[in-house]
Structure 1
Amino acid sequence: MNRKLLTIISLIVPVLTFAQELTIDEKIEAKFKPFAKAVSSVVFYPISIVGIDVPIVIIVLLVGALFFTLYFKFANITLLGVAIRAANGKYDDIDHHSVEEVAGDPTPGGDVFESIQVEGVVGEVTHFQALTAALSATVGLGNIAGVAVAIAIGGPGATIWMILAGFLGMSTKLVEATLGVKYREVGDDGKIYGGPMYYLKKGLKEKNLAGFGKVLAVLYAVFVIGGSFGGGNMFQSNQAAAQFKLLFGLDSGFLFGVLLAVLVGIVIIGGIKRIGRVTEKIVPFMGIMFVGASLLIIVMNLTIIPEAMLQIWNGAFNQTSIVGGVIGVMIVGFQRAAFSNEAGVGSASIAHAAVKTKFPASEGIVASIGPFVDTVIICTMTALVIVVTNLKSNLFDYANLDAGNNVIMNSTGKHLGGVDLTSVAFDSAIPNFSIILTIAVILFAFSTMLSWSYYGIQGWKYLFGKSKLADISYKALFLIFVVIGASSSLGSVIEFSDAMIFAMVFPNIIGLFLLAPKVKLEVARYLKAIGHKGQK
């Protein structure tokens, strides 16, 4: 296995030397572009719906989310209170006292206090740390750039469809996180290994589909590694460096990339425990800062909120806005930032698998908060600010898209990208907010890289073993890619990375459909344990 690992590294290292000569990125682009296009064309293969081409992967995600919402009887809404209380640690005691009847119990039906004490609950992080680690990968540039482009293209009505997508995604996240915990493995050193690779292999084996499960697991591991190096790393460092260079008028992002790599390295060397400790501080801070600024702008413009809400509501239910909203949110927003909340991608289940619990569904229910915070709250705040400020200041015309450059043109003809558009909207209400936005972008990128490094190394170790060499080699490569991403503009590499992330959907969703009955049993078991009137 180590020989195979060294072979892979020997093939990758020559490619990495272009960091020393930045102009070679154009050669890489030319060589890599056909391959990236081929992979992207398969993953994003379009299906025509009412005359509009929609990538099949988006359809799979939406159908899956709708199915799980109905199958679990709208658990995304009915169990939201349980999710919040579990994340706060209200039910942690049941992980130390078994509430289930012990075989041979002479007094069955007793309460929790007569049950056996359970020592050494398996896991590395708390419910809250697991949630913030997963959120740190999803709360990012999709909330700032993707939403801005989606609203600009789809109009104000796109906000409604974004909220709906967030609610449906909560059900998918519940399923994959529950399975992540249920089928996780514990290493000799006590470290947790979990995620789609493991529930595809072990779960499908229980359904007499062992061979099929192994193939899906290997495919997923390959995709998650590719996604971690690209969309979860290079794209993040590239966008953070771009915003940093814009603010300070710099030409090169190399030094910024080196500094960012050092900071990322300090954290990821400590594994999921250190990542959890960092993200539980950064994610709430990011959320409070961004939502706080959004609420400030909304309060400053209370008199036009009714008109803005009317625009959003009316815009969601005419044919043009429905089509535009779906294209804007599902294609531009989700595709550009690797699906705003990653529900259905399966990556978050890797972080949630490390939680300290003996009830898999406890973390599945907590995980459902992710899309609610990421999409329903933060993305909606971004959308509201853009709609309100545009209504007040007429910053741009909706659907005024320069398709060749994938940017929006404002009233003066200036091109605005996603981050630029959000910056202009906030700046129009809060002077010099672009400085704060730069900090937010860097923090978003930093936290996203932390979690994706953990996702990638889990796929890496699944393929190459859990040795020290595998651990060090992956982390070294990951940090090198941080510098490369900040220093270069490799469009096709980023396109390939996005395709790899979305390719994770196909093996993952298959597993979720086949294993959904097991999740339903786990949910019922957990709700019984906490004394909640569960689903039948």
Structure 2
Amino acid sequence: MAAFAQEVEPEGIDATINAVAGAVTGPFVSFIFAPLPGTSFPWIVLWLVVGATIFTVYFGFVQFRAFGHAIALVKGDYSDPNDAGEVSHFQALATALSGTVGLGNIAGVAVAVGIGGPGATFWMILAGLMGMASKFTECTLGVKFRNEYADGTVSGGPMYYLTKGMTERGYGTIGKVLAVLFSIFCILGSWGGGNMFQANQAHAQLVNITGGEASFLSGNGWITGIIMAIIVFVVIVGGIKSIAQVTEKIVPLMAVIYVGAALIILIGNASQIPWAFGQIFEGAFTGLGIAGGLAGALIQGFKRAAFSNEAGVGSAAIAHSAVRTKEPITEGFVSLLEPFIDTVVICTMTALVIVITGVLNQDPETGLYVWDAASGSIATADGSSGVELTSLAFGTTISWFPYVLAVAVVLFAFSTMISWSYYGLKAWTYLFGEGKTSEVIYKLLFCLFVIIGAAMSLGPVIDFSDAAIFAMAVVNIIGLYFLMPIVKRELLSYSARLKSGEIRKFKH
């Protein structure tokens, strides 16, 4: 990924952490984002696009056909409180959304638009719509092949459907290898995108509102990290029920704060919305002067969409596996709402605010965006990138909003971290066994990476975060290709019973 504009170099303890971590993660990042021979197109982006397209076609565009029923399920219309599981459909959706609706929507979109131009938004929306089918597939399998224990707890996710599902299909050995690889990458992903990136951008926004480079926090990310690590540890010690109780309150709150502010700006600039969409569509196919043109916009759009909504990654299947239901397909329906809410709605709103507020420098004569070769992104008035660019955009219309955004960013980061701690924990216990000692070791390591992420500079953090999460997708999607027929069978069975009236709404 290209460098970030005017990034403040870490100093002192932060600089030491940055140098060591960057050297360790570099080779892994290079492999995941290696381009296809003779092109600048990363092979991993094509992998995700092809997977989402195949699932969309194979299941007959299920993301559009089942949208209404998915909303009914979230409302609890078909929920039986006596079903096995730990959380409700809504809590499972909120937990999974808290792992996806986060700084990818605030900072990630700014990165995509800053490097790929407004056109990246078009590809982001397309990736979100197709990704709904990927999410549907993996979350159905997550519930179907979960482990249910005598004490009422459950463990599920790709680790389990790759072993049990692949064995059912006659590919047990391949499934076990894929499950181990997925677990390793999931642990790395929980430390990277689900942790380090969140802590990093939360710290950046706190520095932003406390004086920038003159702030007492500047160069002292480890201080922010320690405070966040302590708070995170207090919550994650309680397990999935504790996490679900926190996320079902935080997610709606932060969504109202952030989406509400975006709506205020968009309503106040309603006359410019058609122009902004014009920039998005034109930029999607021409690049509007940015380096890389169409390819640059497409790559950034798909990369950031995948990082934001995690469709095909397999992470959300872990949270959805804990749902109370005896019908695995119902959680597949519920989960397909995630990429829509996360990418199609919230990411698009962020991109529109950035484009409409004019924080990206545009040549008044040609209409092309001014490319800053030194920073590797579109030029901005003050060299902002990531969460700082989004903050600048909101601040042009609502002067005090950067302070409100700081609260939203910390809440987004916090909720994402506690959800990803659960994902990583389930992968950890799959590899090393269930038990209190094993769980505490993982949780302490997770909190250590909160501190490391807050102390590092954005470039290495976002590269490692992307690489770890996309590596999960490589393994997961291989398994999904093998297991698609099982999901198809579940879909046809449920649809027939719903049509015949055998499946009915519950009176609560």
TM-score (norm 2): 0.88
- 1:36-185 aligned at under 5 Å gives the runs 36-47=25-36, 52-92=39-79, 95=80, 120-185=82-147
Give 1:191 deviation, angstroms: 1.5
Contact 1:153 1:400 in 2 (8 A): no
Match of 1:482 among 447, 450, 472: 450
* Corresponding residue of 2:417: 449
Match of 1:498 among 456, 463, 466: 466
| Alpha-carbon spacing, 1:364–1:454, altered in 2? closer, same or farther (3 Å) | same
Separation of aligned partners in 2, 1:382 and 1:533 = 42
1:423 aligns with 2:381: no
Match of 1:259 among 215, 222, 227: 227
Q: Which amino acid aligns with 1:83?
A: A
1:250 aligns with 2:216: yes
| Alpha-carbon spacing, 1:313–1:492, altered in 2? closer, same or farther (3 Å) | closer
Paired positions, count? 482
| Alpha-carbon spacing, 1:492–1:377, altered in 2? closer, same or farther (3 Å) | closer
Give 1:158 deviation, angstroms: 2.9
Please give the secondary structure, in 2, of the residue aligned with 1:53. coil
* Corresponding residue of 1:194: 156
**Residues 45-90 of structure 1: CA deviation (Å, up to 9, x unaligned):** 2115xx7411111111000001111111111111111111111111
| Alpha-carbon spacing, 1:358–1:326, altered in 2? closer, same or farther (3 Å) | farther
Q: Which amino acid aligns with 2:216?
A: L
Contact 1:132 1:283 in 2 (8 A): yes
Contact 2:14 2:455 in 1 (8 A): no
Percent identity between the two aligned chains: 52
Contact 1:69 1:168 in 2 (8 A): yes
Q: Which amino acid aligns with 2:312?
A: G
Give 1:216 deviation, angstroms: 0.5
Q: Which amino acid aligns with 1:57?
A: I
**Residues 220-245 of structure 1: CA deviation (Å, up to 9, x unaligned):** 00111111112211221121112112
Separation of aligned partners in 2, 1:317 and 1:502 = 25
Match of 1:239 among 197, 201, 219: 201
Q: Which amino acid aligns with 1:359?
A: E
Contact 1:151 1:325 in 2 (8 A): no
Task: Provide structure 2 residue ranges, at least 5 long, that are not aligned to the other structure.
Answer: 1-10, 503-508
TM-score (norm 1): 0.84
Contact 1:196 1:508 in 2 (8 A): yes
Larger Rg: 1
Separation of aligned partners in 2, 1:38 and 1:149 = 22
| Alpha-carbon spacing, 1:329–1:142, altered in 2? closer, same or farther (3 Å) | farther
Separation of aligned partners in 2, 1:214 and 1:272 = 25
Q: CA RMSD in A?
A: 2.6
Contact 1:402 1:409 in 2 (8 A): yes
**Residues 359-397 of structure 1: CA deviation (Å, up to 9, x unaligned):** 11100110000000000000011111122222xx77556
1:219 aligns with 2:181: yes
Please give the secondary structure, in 2, of the residue aligned with 1:178. helix
Q: Which amino acid aligns with 1:68?
A: F
Please give the secondary structure, in 1, of the residue aligned with 2:488. helix
Give 1:319 deviation, angstroms: 7.1
* Corresponding residue of 2:246: 278
Please give the secondary structure, in 1, of the residue aligned with 2:370. strand
**Residues 84-125 of structure 1: CA deviation (Å, up to 9, x unaligned):** 111111111xx47xxxxxxxxxxxxxxxxxxxxxxx421111
* Corresponding residue of 1:400: 370
Match of 2:265 among 293, 297, 303: 297
Contact 2:360 2:379 in 1 (8 A): no
Match of 1:409 among 359, 379, 388: 379
Separation of aligned partners in 2, 1:491 and 1:467 = 36
Please give the secondary structure, in 2, of the residue aligned with 1:54. coil
Q: Which amino acid aligns with 1:150?
A: A
**Residues 155-197 of structure 1: CA deviation (Å, up to 9, x unaligned):** 3333222211110000000000000001100234321111111
